Chains A and B, each alone.
Chain A
Amino acid sequence: EAQVTQNPRYLITVTGKKLTVTCSQNMNHEYMSWYRQDPGLGLRQIYYSMNVEVTDKGDVPEGYKVSRKEKRNFPLILESPSPNQTSLYFCASSRQLKTVTANTGELFFGEGSRLTVL
């Protein structure tokens, strides 16, 4: 079954304690991305990756790190979490267009990771 898997699904942590949210896809997609969803703000992009070893900042990258060492995995790292990073996080993946450097727009999303930072 084609899927994007995120872990953990729920996490409560404290300020400053480093954490990693993992994301894995089994569709051989080139493109992967992280979003955060907050009430009234919709979906905002944190980081994205066009392919292995290629990552770029999205709209709200501050306080986050990512890496793309393998095609299937795209972990999101919070080095020193703060309460304003309390949010619902989604990982997504997509095929890449062949003619331009862009994804197809048909994103597959994980089920989400709800993070609370106290």
Chain B
Amino acid sequence: AQSVAQPEDQVNVAEGNPLTVKCTYSVSGNPYLFWYVQYPNRGLQFLLKYITGDNLVKGSYGFEAEFNKSQTSFHLKKPSALVSDSALYFCAVRDVGYSTLTFGKGTMLLVSP
């Protein structure tokens, strides 16, 4: 089975500070990992993915994520948060033996001015 956990319902950060949104996963094989963002009243948008190779992957809007196999984590990061980054963030995983993604429950990111 494949599963993903986002341990924080909400993350609060001040504008200009670095942000981290946490994600851990469970798979039996090699994971394919993804981050999506959902702005209010919109559908989800793809941010970035890890398939193989470099553990640090870069994505849209200045976001990056670090794959850590030993800790089974794929945390989303950004060096300097913007108020416009406030949104709901979803982590997702696909095990090598599966054909579809499993999403986490989402983490609300609130960036204050």
A74 within 8 A of B: no
Evaluate contact between B49 and A50: CB separation under 8 angstroms. no
**Which residues of the partner chain A approach B102 to less than 8 Å between Cβ atoms?**
45
CB contacts under 8 Å to B, within A72-102, are 90, 92, 100-102
**What is the size category of the interface that chain A forms with chain B?**
20 to 34
**Which residues of the partner chain B approach A103 to less than 8 Å between Cβ atoms?**
99-101
Evaluate contact between B43 and A102: CB separation under 8 angstroms. no
Evaluate contact between A106 and B100: CB separation under 8 angstroms. no
B51 to chain A, nearest CB (A): 8
Report the number of A-B residue pairs with Cβ-Cβ less than 8 Å.
Answer: 60
Interface string of B20-43 (1 = CB under 8 A from A): 000000000000101010000111
Evaluate contact between B104 and A105: CB separation under 8 angstroms. no
- Find the A residue at minimum CB distance from B93: A105
B107 to chain A, nearest CB (A): 10
A6 to chain B, nearest CB (A): 8
Evaluate contact between B43 and A43: CB separation under 8 angstroms. no
- Find the A residue at minimum CB distance from B101: A105
Q: For B34, B43, B105, B106, which residue has the most chain A Cβ atoms within 10 angstroms? A: B43
Interface string of A47-64 (1 = CB under 8 A from B): 010100000001000000
B44 within 8 A of A: yes
A97 to chain B, nearest CB (A): 9
**Quick one: which of B46, B92, B105 contacts A40, CB cutoff 8 A?**
B105
B55 within 8 A of A: no
- Find the A residue at minimum CB distance from B94: A105
**Which residues of the partner chain B approach A106 to less than 8 Å between Cβ atoms?**
34, 46, 49
How many angstroms between the C-alpha atoms of A106 and B90 in the bound complex? 13
Q: Which residues of A contact B (CB under 8 A)?
A: 4, 33, 35, 40-45, 48, 50, 58, 90, 92, 100-103, 105-112
Closest 6 interchain pairs by CB?
A109-B43, A42-B105, A43-B103, A102-B99, A109-B44, A106-B46
Q: What would be 10 A-B contacts, judged by CB atoms less than 8 Å apart?
A: A43-B90, A48-B100, A90-B44, A101-B99, A102-B98, A102-B100, A105-B94, A106-B34, A111-B41, A112-B42
Q: Which residues of B contact A (CB under 8 A)?
A: 32, 34, 36, 41-46, 49, 90, 92, 94, 96, 98-106
